[in-house]
Amino acid sequence: MKRIAVCGLAVLAAALTACSPAPSSGTDVEARILDALPEDGDSGEVRMVDILPDARWDRLTIGCPYEEAWEMSERLQAWSGSVPDLAQRDDAQAIVLARGDAVERAWLLDREELDLCGPGAEPEVLARDEAVLSFTQDADGRWVADWVAD
């Protein structure tokens, strides 16, 4: 009986993963964040609810280079096959949205113009109304985020 239950759970997990959408390209999200930052300044804040107003979510986290998908899922206490695995990558980062116990959406972004995982960043879970990222420009003109909670 235990073997049947374990097999059933494995099949269910595989089905949920197969039905989950893959992470989306974050080009549009990245452009919205960059547009929200000042053109003539070297720092600024972005409220993520303003960047992602139509998405259904109550919390988010950022996935940083070399982070495995299960780490982001565990941090959010939400699971889905759409959480990107960054374990072998240093050129990418992710924005992952969750609602309840499910991942609602995930975007994969490159780190060329926008770095959501700056030095010493310790991504956490931010509630929708408290998800504010503070940015400063580095010497190369790239925007680097610091985490801010209202």
pLDDT at 103: 95
- Tens of pLDDT, residue by residue over 63-94, are 999 999 999 999 999 988 889 999 999 999 99
Give pTM, 2 decimals. Answer: 0.80
Taking each continuous run of H as one helix and of E as one strand, the counts in the chain are 4, 9
pLDDT at 35: 95
Residues 6+ apart with CB under 8 A from 130: 149, 150
pLDDT at 147: 63
Q: How confident is the model at residue 4 (pLDDT cuts 50, 70, 90)?
A: low
